[in-house]
Amino acid sequence: MTRVIVTLKIMPESPELSLDAIHQEASSIIEKFGFQVAKHEIEPIAFGLNALKIIYIQDEAQGGTEPVEKKVSAITGVQSVEVTDVRRAIG
């Protein structure tokens, strides 16, 4: 059973949107898939716009990231979702 660490970069539609609300909803979606949210970060982009990065862990046997990406991109206020990193966990 190999585990992978996935980083999702979530872009909001505008700087006025609450990244905390998006984080809560996205984390809930990820956990419903049976994955473990490890941490999140805020990444400044430009002109007050920030991206939300969520790092989660899943078993490699559970398939790809597309179902999670699709569900998270459907959150109100989310402009785009991109997987920026996938790597195997050691240990």
Q: What is the dihedral of CA 33, 26, 39, 64, to 10 degrees?
A: 40
- Domain tally, the chain: 1
Residue 77's alpha-carbon distances to 5, 32, 73, 89, in angstroms, are: 25, 20, 9, 31
Other beta carbons less than 10 A from residue 28's beta carbon = 12
Give per-residue pLDDT as tens, 29-81: 999 999 999 999 999 998 889 999 999 999 988 889 999 999 999 999 999 99
Residue 19's alpha-carbon distances to 9, 31, 35, 40, 71, in angstroms, are: 12, 18, 21, 11, 17
Task: State the CATH number of the domain containing residue 30.
Answer: 3.30.70.60
Predicted TM-score (pTM) of this structure: 0.91
Block residue for tokens 């809560």: 24
- Domain limits for position 36: 3-88
